[in-house]
Amino acid sequence: MPTDEAKPKAGLEDVVAATSAICYLDGDRGVLAYFGYDIHDLARGASFEEVCYLLWHGRLPNRAELGDLQSQLAAERALSEPVLRLMKQLPASDGMDMLRTLTSALGQYDPQAGDNSPQANYRKAVRLTAQIASIVATYGRMKAGGGPIQPDPALGHAANFLYLLSGDRPSALATRAFDIALVLHADHELNASTFAARVAAATLTDLYSATVGAIGALKGPLHGGANADVMRLLIEIGQDAPAEKIDEAIRGKLARKVKIPGFGHRVYRTEDPRATHLRRMSKELGEKAGNTRWFEMSRRIETLATGEKKLHPNVDFYSASTYYTLGIDIDLFTPIFAVSRISGWTAHCLEQYANNRLIRPRTDYIGPQHPQPLQPLDQR
Q: Which residues are catalytically annotated?
A: 265, 316
The answer to whether 324 touches 330, Cβ cutoff 8 Å, is yes
H helices of 310-361, in order, are 315-325, 333-354
Q: 3-state class of 305 per DSSP?
A: helix
Q: 3-state class of 356 per DSSP?
A: coil
The H or E element containing residue 34 is strand 31-34
CA 325 from chain centre, in angstroms, equals 19
Which letter does DSSP use for residue 313 in this model? B
Phi-psi region of 58 (alpha: psi -120 to 50; beta: other; left: phi over 0): left
Cα dihedral 32, 38, 41, 47 sign? negative
Q: Which residues touch 224 (CB under 8 Å, ≥6 apart)?
A: 96, 193, 218, 334, 337, 338
The type of residue at 93 is: S
The answer to whether 163 touches 174, Cβ cutoff 8 Å, is no
| DSSP symbols for 55-120 | HHHSS---HHHHHHHHHHHHHH-SPPHHHHHHHHHSPS--HHHHHHHHHHHHHHT-TTTT--SHHH
